[in-house]
Amino acid sequence: MCTVYFDCERGAAGDMICAALFGLIKDKAAMVKRLNNMGIPGAKFLINNTKRYEMEGLSMTVEIGEQTEETAFSEHGHTAHRHMTMETIREIVGNLKVPQHIKKMVLEIYQMIALAESEAHNCQVTEVHFHEVGALDAIADVSAACMLLDELKPENIISSSVHVGNGTVRCAHGVLDVPAPATANLLRGIPYEKGEIEGEICTPTGAALLRYFVQKFGVPIPESSIKKSGIGIGKRKFQKPSFFMAAILAE
């Protein structure tokens, strides 16, 4: 048992959170193999050492067929590409080759995302349609985060306040202020700031993972207590570094 600290001062996207958690586990290759054997349709997980703006860490990429979620569209996309409903997502998660308690966590987190999207678009959850590649990428991120935290088995997870970015984000519904409505819904009651980075650095998937797992927010970084840390660097490039830190704290 341990306490894990999340530093969200430079954002919180699903891939960044997972990459940071990868930095805390011993056998990374074995975990990548487990993730690739989960059975997410067409998904391939890749973990790489990454350096950006002099910051060194890990990045996690999920290839869906020949695309990544980044090349296809943003998490907010509702485009002319193929779409998925929550019913389809439940079926995919139900067929994953993971323990039942992992499936339960993944579905609960994805249900939070669907509820936030339905509120943002003023419709029923059954009417929310997720862009196929973005939905599979989010399932991959959420499943990976659940698997990684299940491996670490922290007794507590505490976090800084969340920086969401500034300015606007472009999606299929036009240009929206940051945080986008679904992200803002997921962050309701959680302390967050816009900060100086232009763009969306906290995504709906990242916000949902934080809401689900973190017991306490707004905790200053306990630098003297850090035993081990992992840095997760996101796929998107901003004018200033965006990264996520996860740390195991001394008892």
Query: Rounded distance, CA 18 to CA 34, Å?
Result: 14
Here the contacts of 108-111 (C-beta below 8 Å, separation 24 or greater) are: 108/212, 109/142, 109/146, 109/208, 109/209, 109/212, 110/86, 110/138, 110/139, 110/142, 110/208, 111/86
Query: Rounded distance, CA 201 to CA 178, Å?
Result: 9
Query: How many domains does the structure of the chain reveal?
Result: 1
Range of the domain at 231: 3-249
Q: How far is CA 47 from the centre of its chain?
A: 15
Say which residues have a Cβ less than 8 Å from residue 226's Cβ, sequence separation at least 6: 5, 247, 248, 249, 250
Query: Does pTM top 0.85 for this prediction?
Result: yes
Q: What angle do CA 185, 133, 208 make, to 5 degrees?
A: 25
Q: Amino acid identity, residue 144?
A: A
Per-residue pLDDT tens digits of the chain, which is 251 residues long: 799 999 999 999 999 999 999 999 999 999 999 999 999 999 999 999 999 888 899 999 999 986 655 544 445 544 445 789 999 999 999 999 999 999 999 999 999 999 999 999 999 998 998 988 889 999 999 999 999 999 999 999 999 999 999 999 887 667 889 999 999 999 999 999 998 889 999 999 999 999 999 999 999 999 999 999 999 998 888 878 789 999 999 97
Query: Rounded distance, CA 139 to CA 54, Å?
Result: 31
3-class state of residue 114 by DSSP? helix
Say which residues have a Cβ less than 8 Å from residue 40's Cβ, sequence separation at least 6: 92, 96, 136, 139, 140, 143
Dig out the tokens for 156 from the structure.
Answer: 């507590």
